[in-house]
């Protein structure tokens, strides 16, 4: 099981973006030293979700220039907001300049204000169909041979992409899925599946099963890669971890409390209950490792993408959390999931 550091590149509106980027890039360097496999950045526009990063390939390239081994990319690029030719060119350029370390995830979703600003009206049907076409264009262009496309949303005359990325870039590419339909789309195209930390286990099982079935029907020969999303904080012990996340959990709960599945639910009775509802793990290295290992067994995960930067947790605590993750949690999980 491989681990990726995932970051939404968040910060307060009055925090200079340069400070946010510097903090994130320092974590990237630490993640490489600790042996994590990849680092993925999220795309947000106009400060939505406190995000400071509208262009993930740029920060991925900066991360690649500071590192030697770790894969760099996105979780996710909001593909519906861009022309797929431009995205294919940008990611290919990152792949060439980092020596074949690009690992980008794509998704169909974005917020209504973001879509409106880009002149788009995305119903569920349009969002999914447009995303499928865009992903087909990106993957087709990456083959490095003449490629043309004539779809409902995108038309492309015969072109050959330059620079051409490594021939195995598809196997380092991911699609986020919160529905069976999106999971099938990913499996058919032979890209990895990214799952959300906020979905209940039974829903995730359904999504992963649909993905693996689609992968097998399409005839792909590799092991289907599935990455589980985890929000977490690793403390020195369970008690101190609970104290240190006390200011972090309530805002996360408030964001999801408006969803249909939670509107009628009573307020969480404890920090632990609120954390469970939002898919947030906290505790000692052993406690967190055991929780990840359980999810790995349930879903047969091959990867995990973990978020460690949170409001209410300072930079020094975040770095300590990342060190415990790399030195204690990951070895424990890998031993548990390989039977060693």
Name all domains of the chain by residue range, CATH numbers in brackets: 2-232+287-313 (3.20.20.30)
**Which pLDDT belongs to residue 339?**
59
pLDDT at residue 81 tops 60? yes
Q: How far is CA 258 from the centre of its chain?
A: 23
pLDDT at residue 67 tops 80? yes
- CA dist 129 to 5, 15, 133, 141, 269, Å? 30, 37, 6, 19, 41
Peptide bond into 272 cis (omega under 30): no
pLDDT at residue 25 tops 80? yes
Structure tokens at 95: 């792949």
Confidence of residue 209 (pLDDT cuts 50, 70, 90): very high
pLDDT at residue 64 tops 90? yes
Percentage of the residues of the chain whose pLDDT score is greater than 70: 99
**Which pLDDT belongs to residue 68?**
98
Task: For residues 134-159, give the mean pLDDT.
Answer: 98
Task: For residues 135-153, give the mean pLDDT.
Answer: 97
**Which pLDDT belongs to residue 79?**
97
Interatomic CA distance for residues 275 and 250, integer angstroms: 9
Confidence of residue 198 (pLDDT cuts 50, 70, 90): confident
Interatomic CA distance for residues 80 and 301, integer angstroms: 27
Structure tokens at 80: 């519906």
pLDDT at residue 199 tops 90? no
pLDDT at residue 269 tops 60? yes
Interatomic CA distance for residues 310 and 252, integer angstroms: 10
Percentage of the residues of the chain whose pLDDT score is greater than 90: 89
**Cβ–Cβ < 8 Å for 45, 112:** no
Interatomic CA distance for residues 340 and 337, integer angstroms: 8
pLDDT in tens, 270-325: 999 999 999 999 999 999 999 999 999 999 999 999 999 999 999 999 999 999 99
Q: Where are the beta strands (DSSP E) in the chain?
A: 2-7, 38-41, 71-78, 102-107, 147-150, 155-159, 174-176, 192-194, 226-234, 280-283, 303-307
- Model confidence, pTM: 0.95
CB under 8 Å to 43, separation ≥6 — which residues? 51, 53, 54, 55, 56, 74, 76, 77, 78, 81
| Tokens 């996105």 -> residue | 74
CB under 8 Å to 150, separation ≥6 — which residues? 156
pLDDT at residue 21 tops 80? yes
**Averaged confidence pLDDT in the chain:** 95
CA-wise closest residue to 177 among 100, 283, 79, 317: 79
Q: Mean pLDDT lowest for which of 100-114, 256-270, 312-326?
A: 256-270
pLDDT at residue 340 tops 60? no
Interatomic CA distance for residues 116 and 130, integer angstroms: 15
CB-facing half-sphere around the CA of 304: CA atoms within 13 A: 28
CB under 8 Å to 24, separation ≥6 — which residues? 7, 9, 41, 59, 309
């Amino acid at each position: 099981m491989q681990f990726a550091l995932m970051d939404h590149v968040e910060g307060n509106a009055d925090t200079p973006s340069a400070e946010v980027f510097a903090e994130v890039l320092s974590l990237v360097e630490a993640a490489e030293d600790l042996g994590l496999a990849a680092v993925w950045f999220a795309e947000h526009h106009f400060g939505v979700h406190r995000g400071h990063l509208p262009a993930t390939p740029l920060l991925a390239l900066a991360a690649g220039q500071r590192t030697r081994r770790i894969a760099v990319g996105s979780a996710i690029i909001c593909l519906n907001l861009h022309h797929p030719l431009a995205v294919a060119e940008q990611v290919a350029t990152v792949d060439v300049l980092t020596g074949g370390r690009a690992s980008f995830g794509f998704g169909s979703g974005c917020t209504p204000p973001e879509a409106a600003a880009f002149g788009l009206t995305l119903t569920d049907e349009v969002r999914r169909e447009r995303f499928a076409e865009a992903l087909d264009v990106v993957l087709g262009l990456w083959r490095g041979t003449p490629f043309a496309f004539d779809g409902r949303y995108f038309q492309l005359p015969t072109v050959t992409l330059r620079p051409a990325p490594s021939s195995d870039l598809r196997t380092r590419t991911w699609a986020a899925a919160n529905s069976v339909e999106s999971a099938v789309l990913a499996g058919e195209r032979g890209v990895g599946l990214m799952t959300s930390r906020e979905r209940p286990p039974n829903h995730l099982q359904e999504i992963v099963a649909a993905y693996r079935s689609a992968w097998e029907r399409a005839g792909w020969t590799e092991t289907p890669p599935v990455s589980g999303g985890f929000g977490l904080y690793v403390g020195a012990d369970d008690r101190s971890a609970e104290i240190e996340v006390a200011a972090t959990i309530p805002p996360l709960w408030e964001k999801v409390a408006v969803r249909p599945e939670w509107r009628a639910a009573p307020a969480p009775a404890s920090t632990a209950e609120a954390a469970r509802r939002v898919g947030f793990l906290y505790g000692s290295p052993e406690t967190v490792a055991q929780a990840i290992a359980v999810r790995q067994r349930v879903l047969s995960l091959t990867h995990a993408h973990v978020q460690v930067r949170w409001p209410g947790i300072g930079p020094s605590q975040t770095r300590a959390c990342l060190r415990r993750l790399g030195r204690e949690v990951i070895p424990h999980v890998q031993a548990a999931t390989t039977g060693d």
